[in-house]
């Protein structure tokens, strides 16, 4: 996806990026490629692929929720910053926490935050199951792309969501995982409100974004230890 098409497609999502935001994305791309030579951040390195499969894909979260508000958002297993950093660039109004268990990636994310002069964003080195215990009912939105299966991920994410907030996992195939996770989502006080299914432009690969509402406080027994969850 070249820059012109990226601008056109993001407009279709209702996002009008300014020149400053486009420059920030370009700088982010350059840092990603540069650091990727030293630490493992992504297998996708061609510019047009990064703009489609990382940048555009991250922004598709807007398909299920209005992000033009002052919301707190936690991105679990953010890796090189997807979707969290891209969302911060496009929606500077969001207050974002990026969580990853690999410290090298946190060091990279802190460099991106500094170089792009991003505010109201922090990168935390932690395992989600530990972070969730200390940050209960704290975020309006908890999201996560390509981290664990829905059953495991729900138990890590739901305790962190405020009552009336949303857990919004971004997935490729999800139908089998929904069946397997139904029970635990219910026990965690979640309710699956919507499943947005679409294809990425150009290469047409399948995407699903789930909107899971937290309807009540999550029982303190969750999240359990990872061996129990599994
Ligand atoms: N979300 C990014 C993306 O879509 O490109 C990264 C996905 S990568 C496949 C999974 C990431 O989750 C890795 O960066 C890994 O370190 C992190 N991770 C895996 N298990 C985790 C856990 N229990 N707590 C926090 N991070 C975790």
Q: Specify the residue with its C-alpha closest to ligand 1, atom 6.
A: 79
Task: Confirm if 54 and 42 have CB atoms less than 8 A apart.
Answer: yes
CA 178 to chain CA centroid, nearest Å: 18
For residue 143 and ligand 1, the question of a CB distance below 6 A is answered with no
Which architecture, in CATH terms, is 3-229?
3-Layer(aba) Sandwich (3.40)
Task: Confirm if 126 and 132 have CB atoms less than 8 A apart.
Answer: no
Selection from 89, 33, 42 nearest residue 61 by Cα: 89
pLDDT at 173: 87
Average pLDDT per consecutive 10 residues, the chain (230 residues; last block may be shorter): 97 98 98 97 97 98 97 98 98 98 98 98 97 97 95 97 98 93 97 97 94 97 89
CA atoms of 160 and 99, how far apart (whole Å)? 12
For residue 57 and ligand 1, the question of a CB distance below 6 A is answered with no
For residue 165 and ligand 1, the question of a CB distance below 6 A is answered with no
Prediction pTM value = 0.97
Which secondary structure element, helix H or strand E, spans residue 161, and what is its range? strand 161-171
Pairing of strands 72-76, 139-145: parallel
pLDDT at 226: 87
For a ligand 1 pocket test, name from 103, 132, 147, 200 the mutation site with the most ligand atoms within 8 angstroms of its C-beta. Answer: 147
Query: Would you call 115 helix, strand, or coil by DSSP?
Result: helix
């Amino acid at each position: 996806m070249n820059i012109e098409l990226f601008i056109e497609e993001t407009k279709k999502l209702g996002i009008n990026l300014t020149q400053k935001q486009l420059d920030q994305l370009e700088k982010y791309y350059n840092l990603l490629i540069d650091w990727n030579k030293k630490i493992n951040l992504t297998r996708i390195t061609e510019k047009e692929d990064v703009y489609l499969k990382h940048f555009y894909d991250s922004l598709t979260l807007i398909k299920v929720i209005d992000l033009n508000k002052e919301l707190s958002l936690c991105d679990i297993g953010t890796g090189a910053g997807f979707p969290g950093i891209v969302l911060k660039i496009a929606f500077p109004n969001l207050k974002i926490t990026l969580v990853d268990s690999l410290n090298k990636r946190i060091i990279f994310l802190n460099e991106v935050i500094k170089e792009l002069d991003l505010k109201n964003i922090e990168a935390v080195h932690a395992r989600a199951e530990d972070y969730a215990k200390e940050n209960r009912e704290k975020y309006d939105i908890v999201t996560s792309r390509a981290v664990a299966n829905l059953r495991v991920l729900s138990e890590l994410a739901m305790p962190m969501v405020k009552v009336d907030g949303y857990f919004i996992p971004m997935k490729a195939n999800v139908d089998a995982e929904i069946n397997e996770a139904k029970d635990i989502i219910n026990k965690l006080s979640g309710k699956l409100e919507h499943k947005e299914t679409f294809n990425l432009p150009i290469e047409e690969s399948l995407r699903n974004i789930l909107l899971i509402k937290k309807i009540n406080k999550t029982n303190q027994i969750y999240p359990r230890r990872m061996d129990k969850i599994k």
